[in-house]
Amino acid sequence: MTNEDDPLLDTSVSVLTSYNGESGLENQPQQVEQEHDDHLSRGESASKASLKQTSINIAKNCIGTGTLALPYASSQGGFVFSIIGLALIAQWNIYSVDRLIKCELLMQKMAIVPLTTEIAPSSSANTTPKRHHHRSNSSKQPHIFENTNNHTTQMNVNEKEHIRNQKQICPKGTTTFGKVAFYSFGSWGLNCLDLIMVLLFIGVLLSCFVLITELLEAAHFTSGSYALDTLMISVIIIILSSVPDLSVLHVLSAAGILAVIIAFIVILSYGILEYGLIGFTDIQWGNLWPHSVTGISNWFGVAVFSFAIVPITFNIQDSMTNPDQMSSATKTALRFVFVLYIIVGNGTAIIFAPGNKYYFEGQVLAHLPSSWISTLVRFAMALTTIATTPFLVIPCGEVVTSKLGLGIHPSRAWSIATRATLCMISAMVSVLIPDFVSVVKFLGCCAVSMVGFVFPPLFHIVLSRKSKKGAPANKGTLAELMEKGAFQTRHGNESDHVDDHDTITNLKTNYQNGHMTAVVILTNSDYERMTDVVMLTISIAVTVITSYLSLLDGKIPIDS
């Protein structure tokens, strides 16, 4: 039996449906003394995934309903620009996932990961924190607190005292992503993340309502009234979101990827039979690049929405046998998804080009003719989307009830009332939205870009600075530092520990030979900090500009 309190990670058609499904709203009470071990042993559940299985899971989470808008995105951005852009978006997601993982490592080094409840005063300053072998650091990562065990222990105690004194106690049941936000900016950081995630959930709910209504109307399964159709769909979703047993929904939701694959097989087959491959031979130079800035933002929104893996980084990492391989799994999965998106995005848009003059409008299923197989595909896609939507409603409702002060385990009546309210609000707003693609591109430009591209480098910058406060420094002359086997590079009042043997050996040789009188070293943390600042600046600018442009009705030419 599968209950609504079971993990939802592997059941989503779209990447965004599984956020907060597992670790986000922890359903089992934990003892204070076990919380650290439980947090660091998240992957020690009955179902563990290998590197290969995790890569497949990530790819499956990416391939959702957002892919239906990829041909539109390709025609908006241009075919060459789209290929280059998809590669950059994939790499951007890989970078963001890496930064979130490093944020968790920084919290471990600061000894603040387990602080989700009241802390008992430490009885001894010489107690060494536990080490967990499957959370070991990469050799390329800076060693922040590695000089002596005594000093490391003292720093851990000081950090705990500082957090206790400042009452920086993370609320129980907070997601790992939420903890990163909390220990970066405190309560307002956590509330800001929760607010954006709720808005993102509601936005995805809107897209589901619009898509379901479009598909059922095209399949001639309609009452004739758009508003009445939306109301009936919302009632069905409310009922499905309220049942205690979600076994059937798990099965139907898992079939969503199959429905997407079949949909593209049908649409590509129809396009080839109708137009052949003429579109590939008639491509002009102007079809390879975007014609307007608005076109770029439209492409960006769909592409970001289709790749959005960052919000569920920790959920997926929870399910891994070896969580340290999350970055490798992400790289493998997103490179495969990148190739697949080129095929379904550019391929579909080019094949249908003779019929629309290289301007693919709307989601792909709208281009299928009226036939029994087209009706079957549309109905199947609508059914799987309906089955997936409760996995958005449930976690979103729990976040809302928690913020309303009802706790993470409210009464069933409150839970059902909250879910019903969310569904009804989404249904009413969806009536005002013109089409599915409009929702997807705005969500990608705004909410997904904010969570996936802006927050990771921002949190990493803040946690990196906090982790260095009070870090031990080796003082002395250059020669004395070299004799100690360590070297410090100064940045104001901060210092980064360098213990690379080859680097120190070269320093000694150059110094002893009189080839230098002063040394400046950029450590890995320095490069990461500079990269984070650059990426944060780009992310904020792109998010603001594309979000604004996606709301414009007119087009802004490239040369304006």
Domain boundaries, the chain: 9-118+169-466+542-550, 473-521
Residues counted in the chain? 560
Q: Distance between CA 240 and CA 246 in Å, rounded?
A: 8
Mean pLDDT (the chain) is: 76
With beta carbons less than 8 A apart as the criterion, state whether 210 and 435 touch: yes
Contact 143, 498 (CB under 8 A): no
Give the mean model confidence (pLDDT) for residues 449-464.
95
Residue with tokens 């530092």: 481
| Token pair recorded at residue 539 | 């992310």
**Is the predicted pLDDT of residue 243 greater than 90, yes or no?**
no
Average pLDDT over residues 510-529: 59
Contact 511, 478 (CB under 8 A): yes
List CB contacts of 358: < 8 A, sequence separation 6 or more.
75, 279, 283, 284, 287, 349, 350
Whether 94 and 327 have beta carbons less than 8 Å apart is answered as yes
> Stretch 460-469: mean pLDDT, rounded?
87
Please give the pLDDT value at position 115: 41
Q: Is the pLDDT of residue 406 over 50?
A: yes
CA distances from 113 to 44, 158, 191, 554 (A): 17, 15, 18, 48
Residue 558 banded pLDDT, cuts 50, 70, 90: low
Owner of token pair 């087209």: 374
**Residue 273 pLDDT more than 50?**
yes
- Which of these ranges, 37-51, 99-113, 265-279, 447-461, has the smallest mean pLDDT? 37-51
Percent pLDDT > 70 in the chain is 69
CA distances to 169, 197, 474 from 499, rounded to whole Å, are 34, 40, 12
| pLDDT beyond 80 at 22 | no
Residue 413 CB partners (closer than 8 Å, separation 6+) = none
Nearest to 511 by CA among 487, 532, 535: 487
* pLDDT of 167 strictly over 80: no
Distance CA 310, CA 287 (A): 31
Residue 527 has pLDDT above 80, yes or no: yes
User: Tens digits of per-residue pLDDT, 179-212?
Assistant: 999 999 998 999 999 999 999 999 999 999 999 9
For residues 474 and 491, the answer to whether their CB atoms sit within 8 Å is no
9, 318 contact by CB (below 8 A): yes
* Average pLDDT value for residue range 495-507: 47
* CA distances in angstroms from 493 to 125, 465, 490, 496, listed in the order given: 26, 11, 7, 10
Residue that the structure tokens 């409840």 belong to: 117
Find the mean pLDDT for residues 395-399.
85
pLDDT confidence of residue 408: 64
Contacts of 481 (CB under 8 A, 6+ apart): 474, 487, 488
Distance of CA 74 to the CA centre of its chain: 22
Interstrand relation of 494-498 and 487-491 (parallel, antiparallel or unpaired): antiparallel
What kind of fold does domain 9-118+169-466+542-550 have according to CATH?
A: Amino acid/polyamine transporter I (1.20.1740)
Decide if pLDDT at 328 tops 90: yes
The DSSP H or E segment spanning 494 is strand 494-498
Please check whether residue 382 is in contact with residue 219, taking contact to mean a CB–CB distance below 8 angstroms: yes
Phi-psi region of 218 (alpha: psi -120 to 50; beta: other; left: phi over 0): alpha
Confidence check: pLDDT of 433 > 60: yes
Q: What is the pLDDT of residue 259?
A: 84
